[in-house]
Chain A
Amino acid sequence: MSATLQTPPQGHETARTMTGAEIVLQALKDQGVEVIFGYPGGAVLPLYDALFQQNAIRHILVRHEQAAVHAAEGYARSTGKVGVVLVTSGPGATNAVTGLVDALMDSIPVICLTGQVPTHLIGNDAFQEADTTGITRPATKHNYLVKDIRKLASTVHEAFYVSKNGRPGPVVIDLPKDILIGKGPYTEAPQTPHRSYRPQTEPDARAIRDAVALLKGAKRPIVYAGGGVINAGPEASRLLGEFVRMTGMPCTNTLMGLGAYPSTDPQFLGMLGMHGTYEANLAMHGCDVMLNIGARFDDRVTGRLNAFSPGSKKIHADIDPSSINKNVKVDVAVVGDAGRVLAAMIEAWKQDGQQQDRGALAGWWRQIDEWRGKSCLHYVQEGSIIKPQHAVKRLYEITREMGRDTFITTEVGQHQMWAAQYFGFEQPNRWMTSGGLGTMGYGLPAAMGVQIAHPDALVIDIAGEASILMNIQEMGTLAQYRLPVKVFILNNEYMGMVRQWQELLHGSRYSESYSAALPDFVKLAESFHARGIRVTRAEDLDAGIREMLAHPGPVIADIAVAKDENCFPMIPSGAAHNEMILAPGQTGGVAGVTDEGKVLV
């Protein structure tokens, strides 16, 4: 008998008997999975054997299990689908943990299948045994250890349900080898509601009315939208645009929310938070009513909590009730899916008889325009040394000129913040960055996953020279699958973000933050069958970018940038929004870093 996956017979009740491995693949197929990112090993050989004998699901062989999870995250974030990972027991599972926590922090739907030693050996310290469900319990939204093959199919279906419903997140299914080899019944996804997990998606009508009443009466309103809007699907972003335009309010996005509102729209204030714009942060500080939709009052956004937007009424709409009133007390709590909330708010806005104070709103915009006049992202590119901001800005402008659908991933550090500040996004799902966990090494594998999902799109990882080395082995995966990902390194020869904090907080003692003994990135690219480009002078920047974009295969572009550039504006840890530090030469709120601030990260 061949193990080819069959389409289930229509309306047929009798369960078919298959091996555990076949059951897993059939369930994945029924869940609409087309691709999985994985790495083989002893405990998952039965699954690899079943994969070998079918064509419905494509397997992408990564070079490290952490990268498999980030690739699945990139795939998920750029498509809105669940990303799927397959790794072996023991080290395969432990290597995946960083990716799982990353997906947990950023609410990314990922299923991770982990191999496990056979059930009778569990607990015996068998070869490549790890307590995977124990280790990943705080690293996942939920996890399962399948000990009974009769529950295998339903567990896989449930895992998909849990991963994508409510606040999305990673789910691990630990699969002992005897379960994969044994035979059991295949059952289709249940049509009945889950026994215990039924998150509320439809907002409460009264909360919506209260929210709208507050916003209608506002003189200085602001919309603060986060990754929840992206997670709710492209329609939610469209509704956000509709709501913001019909109300005339300013809108800011979190790092996770970039693309939810078009960056070139005049009502967009840019990103807020630690490295957000002057106008976004001051507007948050000075507003009288704030609508937080799909964001979580993260410490990178609020700054010092007791000074956060002190005079405002706050509305918080979130799919996860535990996010509401966690850090910041709010006046109106709306539990629901961001898209459903926005649709309801648009309706309620039309119904509500109250007149908006358009005069006050015009005054608020005059104030905001004054803040905008500060041009907080202004920099001067002069001479041959490339400013990192300029490199990102030119990359943005040139890709825009070309008009290709462009997806950006990043690593973590200053380059990530410059990418967020200088690369504009008009649509959701085009920006993938590790926000909550801040995982160096995220960008390259995430870009891989994006490129798999969008083979014809332009996918660029804006990287730092230190971060890129954390998952550089994935250049091999790019080569194997001919994925034309462009790695755009802002090479400042420092762990720049660390260096910046050392300069500002630790008396310029640059302890262990210099990137010594760097590889020759051009040769490194070539050894991985990719194109290597190095640009050292501002005059050559555009040509380098164009060469990178014109090359049909993967490229590493090593852009030598100013080594001592800092990322501004900056709200130091423990400071308030109105205590922002601006770039040298710009005046505005100036903060010292307090001792309380120093203990924060």
Chain B
Amino acid sequence: MPDPTDTSYRNATIAVLVENEAGILARVVGLFSGRGYNIESLTVAPVDENRRLSRITIVTSGTDMVIEQIKAQLDRLVPVHKVSDLTLEGPHLAREMMLIKVVGKGENRMEALRLADAFRARVVDATTESLVFEMTGAGDKLDAFIDLMRPIGLKEVSRTGVVAIARGAGGLLA
């Protein structure tokens, strides 16, 4: 039971299975902005063409009471099939992908390649003065790599946001 006097924040990774229809993303985003909830990351893509389902993964933060509200509010949207608080409901995997461009020559370029190797980032594009790495992992691992690239010649970053799934045999739809 959420305790209203508990003002400590927690993070929550929430998976939402929705009808793949026009306006659904606007409904979800509007809910968050209209009620003043945080969105740290939001990803969406169709996951089942036959059943016209999309999956939204939202990373948010708030007190327990607010996170319970967020889930209840999501759940009462008409096109929402299922809401699951992955953070609360057991172990889960959360991954993000990024493309990161680094510009530099000589020793900087060598250093970037060495670090990329250590972080298991793949080179997906290269010119004589630039590199693009593709990297997948937990958000903090991506953050760490970005920090390392900054002094070397970080040009730009594109990140997907978090996708997540529960460990084990269970799925969102029973």
Contacts and interface: CB of A to CB of B under 8 A. Distances in A.
Interface of A: 133-134, 137-138, 141-143, 145, 162, 166-167, 195-197, 199, 305, 320-322, 324-326, 328-329, 331
Secondary structure of the A contact surface, majority rule: loop
Contacts of A328: 4
A138 B76 CA distance: 13
A316 B104 CA distance: 63
Nearest to B64: A325
Given A197-B78, A320-B76, A137 B26 contact: yes
A195 B81 contact: yes
B4 A321 contact: no
Which has the most chain A C-beta neighbours within 10 Å: B72, B76, B78?
B78
Interface string B76-105: 111111000000000000000000000000
A325 B3 CA distance: 9
26 contacts: A134-B26, A137-B27, A138-B30, A142-B77, A195-B19, A195-B81, A196-B19, A196-B78, A196-B79, A196-B81, A197-B78, A305-B4, A321-B75, A321-B76, A322-B72, A322-B73, A322-B75, A322-B76, A324-B72, A325-B2, A325-B65, A325-B68, A325-B69, A329-B2, A329-B3, A329-B65
A137 B30 CA distance: 8
Nearest to A323: B72
Contacts of A134: 26
A320 B75 CA distance: 10
B174 interface: no
Secondary structure of the B contact surface, majority rule: mixed
A287 B49 CA distance: 54
B106 interface: no
A418 B18 CA distance: 46
A459 to B, nearest CB: 34
A440 B3 CA distance: 37
For the complex of A and B, the 6 pairs showing the least CB-CB separation, nearest first, are A322-B72, A142-B78, A196-B81, A197-B78, A329-B4, A321-B72
B76 A166 contact: yes
Interface of B: 1-4, 18-19, 22-23, 26-27, 30, 34, 65, 68-69, 72-73, 75-81
Contacts of A145: 22-23
A141 B80 CA distance: 13
B2 A137 contact: no
A320 B27 CA distance: 18
B82 to A, nearest CB: 8
Given A142-B77, A145-B22, A322-B69, 6 more contacts: A166-B76, A199-B76, A321-B72, A322-B75, A325-B1, A329-B4
Nearest to A147: B22
A193 B53 CA distance: 17
B3 to A, nearest CB: 6
A408 B34 CA distance: 33
Contacts of B4: 305, 328-329
Which has the most chain B C-beta neighbours within 10 Å: A133, A142, A143, A325?
A325
Contacts of A133: 23
Nearest to A333: B1
A322 B31 CA distance: 13
